[in-house]
Structure 1
Amino acid sequence: MSRRDAAGRAAVAGLGAWAVFAVVGVVAAGGGGAPLPVDRGLLSWSLGHRPEVALAVARGLTATGTGAVPYALVVLAGVLLGRTSRLRALAAGLGVVCLAVGQMARYGLMELAARPRPPRLDWATAASGWSFPSGHTTTSALTAGLLIAATLLRGPRGRTALCVVAGCWGALVGLTRVYLGVHWFTDVIGGWLYAAGWLAVCRYAAVRWLPSDVLDGLSGAGATAGEPPGGAERSYSGRRARPPA
C-alpha cells in the first residue's frame, strides 16, 4: 500500500469515527445533558451489583487509566516498536505526544459539552470535571491503541494475545467508570469514538509527514525475521552470500 493510500484510509477512518462521536455528543449533551435510557439502566444495574470485592477490583483497574501508567505503557510501546536506540526514542516520544495532545483536546471538548455527571451519591470513587467524553476511557483507549499498533507492526511472538490483553484493558477501564457511577455509558462511548478518531489522525500525520527512512524503520519494511534491514542475507565476511550452484 502506498503512503498516499494509507493516509487516505486513516483520514476516512478518523472522519468516520469523529462524525459518529459528534452525533453521540449532540444527543448526550442536548437537553441539559440528561441521561438516556441506556445510561439510567446501566447505572441502576451497577448500583444493585456492587459487592466489596468487585468494587475493589474496579477501583484498582480504573486507577490504571490515568496518571503515570498510560504514559509508561506508551513509552513501552515505543521501545517495542523501535529497532534501534534512535527509533525507540523517536517512537516513544511520538507516542507520548499523541497521548498528551489527545488528552488536552479531549479536555476542551469536555468543557464545550459541559455534561453533568451522575448524582454524586451514586459515586463509588472520586471524580472531577464534566462528564462527556470520559477522560479515563479516552486515555486508556488511546494507550491501548498505541500498544496494539506497536505490537502488530513489530510482530513479536504471541502478538495476538498481547493485542487482546491491551484491548480488553482499554475497554474494561472505560466500563469501570460506569460501574463506579462517575460516568454515563454514553460518556464512555464518546471516549472510545474520540480516541479512535484521534489515533487515525495521528496515523495520518505519521504516514504523511514522517521521513521515509523513519517510517520504514518503524514499520519494518524491507526487513524480515533473521534478515538484516538491507535485504539479502550476508556472510560473516560482510560479502553477499554466493547463491548455490
Structure 2
Amino acid sequence: MTASGPEPGPAAEEPRPAPPPRRDTAALLAVAAACAALFAATAVAVSVRHGVPLAAEQAAVRWSAAHRGEPARSMAGALTATGSGPVPYLMAVLAGLLAGRRARGRLRAVCCAVVVLAAGQAIRYGLMELLARPRPPAADWTGPASGYAFPSGHATTSALAAGILAWGIARRARPAVARTWCAVLALWAAGVGLTRVYLGVHWPGDVLGGWFLAAGLLALALLLEPFALRRPDRA
C-alpha cells in the first residue's frame, strides 16, 4: 500500500473588505428634503426681488471691497482657483480610488464619483440660467467671473468635491483620521465659497444657495453607494 502524505488543508480564503455601511434611506431623504427647502427659500428670496441684493449682502460686498489688501487678495485668488477646473475632478477620482477595491471596483467607484460631481455642476448651471441673478457690479470684481450669480458655481462645486472626497476617505481611513480630513475639507470648501464674496464676484446669498444645493445632492448621492461599492471585483 502506498503511503500517502498529509492531506492538504482547506485553501486559505482571501480576506474580503468590510461591506459598505447600511445607509438609513429615510434619514438621507429627510436631509435632502431639508436642504432642498433651504435652497428653495433662498431662491425664492432672490426671485421675488428680481435679483436685487439684500442690504446685508450689499454691506458684505462693500466691506470686502474695503479690505482687499495684499497678501489677502492674492491668497483669496489662489484659494478660489481650486474650487473649479481640474482640482474638484481630481478629488472625485481620488475618492473613487480610495473607496473602491481592486481594479474594477475602483473604476466603478471613480465613475460614480465623477458622475455625481458632473451632474451636480449641470444642475447648478441649469438653475443659474433659470434664475438669472445679476452679479455684483463688475467694478468691484477682483478676478474673472462669467455667467449669472445664483447659485455660486465655485461654492457648489467645491462643496460637492469636498463631500465626495470625504466619503472616499471615510471608506478607507480609520474613523479618527477620517474625521480630521472631513474637517479640513469642510474648511476648504467654506473658504472657497467665502472668497467669492471677498473677491466681489458673488453676493453672500449665491454662496449660501450653492452650499444648500451641494448638501442636498450629496445626501441623495449616498443612496447610490450600494451600486458604487456593489462588491469587490477580482482584478
TM bin, normalised by shorter chain, reads 0.7 to 0.9
- Per-residue Cα deviation, 1:112-146 (whole angstroms, up to 9, x for no partner): 11100000000001000000000000000000011
Which structure: larger Rg? 2
Moved over 3 A (4+): 214-218
Residue 115 (structure 1) aligns with: 133
Shift of residue 152 of structure 1?
1.9
Task: Supply the RMSD in Å over aligned alpha carbons.
Answer: 2.0
Structure 2 unaligned residues grouped into runs of 5+: 1-19
SS at match of 1:188: helix
- Per-residue Cα deviation, 1:150-193 (whole angstroms, up to 9, x for no partner): 22222346222211111111110000000000000000000000
Q: Report whether the alignment pairs 1:201 with 2:201.
A: no
Q: Report whether the alignment pairs 1:20 with 2:44.
A: no
The one of the two structures with greater contact order (alpha-carbon pairs below 8 A, sep at least 6) is: 2
Residue 180 (structure 1) aligns with: 199
In the TM superposition, what are the counterparts of 1:28-39 in structure 2 within 5 Å? 28-39=46-57
Equivalent-residue separation in structure 1 for 2:21 and 2:108 (angstroms): 23
**Equivalent residue for 1:69, pick from 81, 87, 95:** 87
What TM-score, normalized to structure 1? 0.82
User: What is the aligned residue count?
Assistant: 213
Residue 151 (structure 1) aligns with: 169
**Equivalent residue for 1:131, pick from 136, 149, 160:** 149
Equivalent-residue separation in structure 2 for 1:6 and 1:32 (angstroms): 39
Identity, % of aligned pairs? 46
What TM-score, normalized to structure 2? 0.85
Structure 1 unaligned residues grouped into runs of 5+: 219-245
Change (3 A) 1:159 1:204: closer
Q: Report whether the alignment pairs 1:101 with 2:127.
A: no
Contact 1:78–1:88 (8 Å) recurs in 2: yes
Contact 1:103–1:139 (8 Å) recurs in 2: yes
